Amino acid sequence: MELVWEGFLQAVALLWSRDRELLQITWLSLQVSGSATLIAVALGMPLGFWLAMFRFRGRSFLLGVVNTGMGLPPVVVGLFVSILLWRSGPLGFFDLLYTPVAMVIAQVIIALPIVAGLTCAAVQQLDRRLVWQAQALGASPSQLVWTLAREARLPLLAAIMAGFGGVISEVGAVMMVGGNIRGQTRVLTTATVLETRMGRFATAIALSVILLGLVFLVNAILTMAQQQEVRKWRPQP
Amino acid sequence: MAAPAISVRGLVQTYQGRTVLSVPELDLEPGAMLTLLGPNGSGKSTLLRLLGLLETPVAGRIAYHGRVLSHAKERLEQRRQMVMVFQDPLLFRGTVYDNVAYGLRLRKTPPHLERQRVHETLELLGLGSLATRGITSLSGGEEQKTALARALVLRPSIMFLDEPTAYLDAPTRHSFCAELLALLDALGIATVFVTHDRNEARRMSRAVAVLLAGRLEQLGPAEEVFRRPGSVQLAAFLGVENLFPAMACQENGCTRLQAPGLELRAAAAAGGPVTVGLRPQDLHLDVDGGASTNVFAGTIRHVMPQDAACRLEVDCGIPLVVYVSEQEADRRGLRAGQAVRLSVDPERVLVYGPNRS
């Protein structure tokens, strides 16, 4: 217990001193997971809308793939991305292994099914007749999508947040494709693993506190949006 | 003559290989009102969605003002000339104002014009004071009116109403219908009104199209459709409560109908086995013995007071249902067990040949 407490105090001191390396690690984490989330949203949201709004051959198969993908183990993703990017692998000539770009690729693969799956669910839970109503009032296809997105904005926000939460806290994939190189590909999760292994609990705890803080921030935004919505929906006098 | 606002030819729709709708021919003149009447699942809403360009039929064509539209862009243009109000208000999140402004915003209406038109329409429907209210705080009637305002603000040339009164209670529904009729008439909007309630259909419009099991069974002026339903199924749906089999034969220019326990005459019909239909409102209590043909003696089995009339079940060999006014029922002191005589005008006897039943 003493270890935890002392570690915690040292962590506070470390955070307070704004250790350069700590800030750099945090910043890289945000950059990698942030851009992975952005890309996953840019690809996954249209995919989710498409899966929800249209009936076509192979739809249920694709939906099955997406839903399976929502529970994809990060180490498995890390393994396959590593094999692809390995010097002798099919994409080896890009020389991307052990770079932040490789980490983004791996995290996109993790976040994309989460965003797509939750988007699809969010759109599907809307009243089917809202589509007709919007069209009957003159909505073009793009205006229709915009209308549905507005009606489902909370679950869509949750989909984005779940995507981000999934990648910011994963360690398996970034470890394998990033390599945890100091100053280059070291992020909060991989650094925590390393510091713990080396017995530097204070640093590990400091890193964990930052990670927890980020996750908390993400959820706070979501909760606030939800509560605001609830207030808006309360009957007015 | 101007081309009809909507002209349907050979329209067929199927869902998963099952034909759910087949309409050989249907026209709607500009500014006219048509009621689509049918039981649940008869395809009325499907027809409405096809007319509203919200679905694509598997066969047939729909022309709007004489033009058949094929391109997505043309269809969107036409869809923006029309509007639909559903059974559920289906309001979007936000305020009453946001909802009413929705269609105008889709059409990129300038803000000052938007404000003006929205407020005009809200005033028209008596919703002026609700503009800034959130939609969750509205009553059922207010929601329904908001949905209507959201449609009317677009000044459509054609309006589709899919049972917009289903969730209103009876008194509100009557006044809502009356207001709506007056409004649509004043604005000159061609309207297709869908309902499963035959009384509402009668109240609402001069022209009625009846759908049964996906088929357009009859189309015509309301009075004709209700007085002379074209088939036994239609008769049963349109409230011809007395339907029974009989044998028909010709006899000096008119038809004699022989049913078990009952004999009557009709104006003219084919011979052979037929189905006879008698509307409860066409049967009279024959008190003074004035009628000479089609008089049946019977005993009252039940007296059931209803909204505007009194429903009698009279056993005349076969059970017959008769409507008499409440006043008449009171004056005669009608009660179960009483012996009465019924009569019916031969012109009002409906006869359906075997091929049509």
Picking from A29-43, B218-232, B330-344, which range would have the lowest pLDDT averaged per residue? Answer: B330-344
Is pLDDT at A134 greater than 50 in this prediction?
yes
Q: Which residue of A has its CA nearest to B156?
A: A137
Please state which CATH number belongs to domain B240-352: 2.40.50.100
Mean pLDDT within A52-79: 93
B103 touches chain A (CB under 8 A): yes
Over residues B57-61, mean pLDDT: 93
The pLDDT score that the predictor gives to residue A92 is 84
Query: Which residues touch B251 (CB under 8 Å, ≥6 apart)?
Result: B265
> What does the DSSP 8-state code read for residue B134?
B
Same fold, B6-234 and B240-352: no
- pLDDT band per the 50, 70, 90 thresholds, residue A236: very low
Q: Which whole number is the average pLDDT over B22-51?
A: 92
The domains found in chain A, sorted by start residue, are: 2-233 (1.10.3720.10)
* Mean per-residue pLDDT, B327-331: 85
Give CA–CA dist B296/B304, Å, rounded: 21
Across A181-197, average pLDDT: 93
| Domain limits, chain B | 6-234, 240-352
Give residue A230's pLDDT.
65
Q: How far is CA B36 from the centre of its chain?
A: 5
| Nearest CB partner across the interface for A236, out of B80, B92, B134 | B134
Q: Residue A140 has what pLDDT?
A: 94
* Plot region of A95 (φ>0 → left; ψ -120 to 50 → alpha; else → beta): left
- The whole-angstrom distance between B9's CA and the closest CA on chain A is 22
ipTM confidence score? 0.83
The per-residue pLDDT for range A66-102, each reduced to its tens digit, is 999 999 999 999 999 999 999 888 888 888 999 999 9
Q: Please, which residues bridge with residue B340 across strands?
A: B298
Q: Which residues of A touch B133 (CB under 8 A)?
A: 236
- Residue B49, chain A, CB below 8 Å: the answer is yes
Partner residue opposite B54 with nearest CB, options A127, A136, A236: A136
Judging contacts by C-beta atoms under 8 Å, the chain A residues touching residue B136 are 233-235
Please tell me the CATH code under which domain B6-234 is placed: 3.40.50.300
Residue-level pLDDT at B13: 94
- Per-residue pLDDT, averaged over A126-153, amounts to 94
pLDDT-based confidence at B291, cuts 50/70/90? low
List CB contacts (< 8 A) between B52 and chain A. 132, 136
From residue A181, alpha-carbon distances to A30, A92, A173, A194, B86 in Å are: 17, 19, 14, 11, 61
Q: What pTM does this model have?
A: 0.82
Among the partner-chain residues A136, A150, A232, the one whose CB lies closest to the CB of B134 is A232
pLDDT at residue A237 is higher than 50: no
Residues of chain B neighbouring A140 (CB-CB closer than 8 A): 76, 106
Of B90, B106, B136, Cβ closest to residue A138: B106
pLDDT band at A233 (very low <50, low <70, confident <90, very high): low
Q: What pLDDT is stored for residue A155 in this prediction?
A: 92
Residue B90 in this model has a pLDDT that exceeds 70: yes
